[in-house]
Amino acid sequence: MTPEEFRQALANQGIQLTDHQMNQFAQYYQDLVATNQVVNLTRITDEKDVYLKHFYDSITGSFALPALRTESLSLCDIGAGAGFPSLPLKIAFPQLKVTIVDSLNKRINFLQELVARLNLDNVTLVHSRAEDFSKKGSAHRENYDVVTARAVARLSVLSELCLPAAKVGGIFLAYKAQAAADELTSATRAIAKLGGQKRNVYSLELPTKPEPEERNLLIIDKLTATPQQYPRRAGTPAKKPL
């Protein structure tokens, strides 16, 4: 997907990017590739692949959750890595208030420099383990309208890392590939225990070649407060999923 194909694909979804926004994405790509030579940010570095599999894929969250396009929502991205999906969403929809959480300081440093270069406001960067970020007593606990995660862990684990940060009445938006249905089935108990309930699964295909790649966006509503003992201490959710 070339930059112009990226712009047109979003226009087909009713998302019109300005020249300024396109320049921001171009700068994002340049900085990503340059920094990736010294810090492991992504295995995807070809321009067409970055625009499709990182930038476009990140923005598909707004296909499933149209409120991201127009409302001044607080969005928390857990384990964002090189800023996906939160920064492409922020560039496309500047009214969003974004908090990015990652456990590796080198990635946070890259994002700090990128956010400054792109002149993005209302972006907060937090160096933290996900389990510590939203634990009992944290100012971040149950504080966000939308919590996102992309390619971080299985849903049964991810729910414990993300749902505690979502406010009651908020949403956990999980980006998943083909195995979404199986993951959702195995995570149903954990989601309920953490105060969540599945609302919808939005399915689409990325126009990859030679075959399209399946993507699934899982929308989970936060109905009740997460019990105080969750998330458990760092490492436990992955070792002993709920």
Task: Please tell me whether 83 is known to bind a ligand.
Answer: no
Task: Please tell me whether 225 is known to bind a ligand.
Answer: no
Task: Please tell me whether 7 is known to bind a ligand.
Answer: no
Nearest CA among 92, 82, 100 for reference residue 35: 82
Task: Please tell me whether 150 is known to bind a ligand.
Answer: yes
Q: 238 to each of 139, 204, 230, how far by Cα in Å?
A: 24, 28, 13
Task: Please tell me whether 61 is known to bind a ligand.
Answer: no
Distance CA(107)–CA(39), nearest Å, equals 8
Annotated binding site for S-adenosyl-L-methionine: 79, 84, 130-131, 150
Binding site per annotation, positions: 79, 84, 130-131, 150
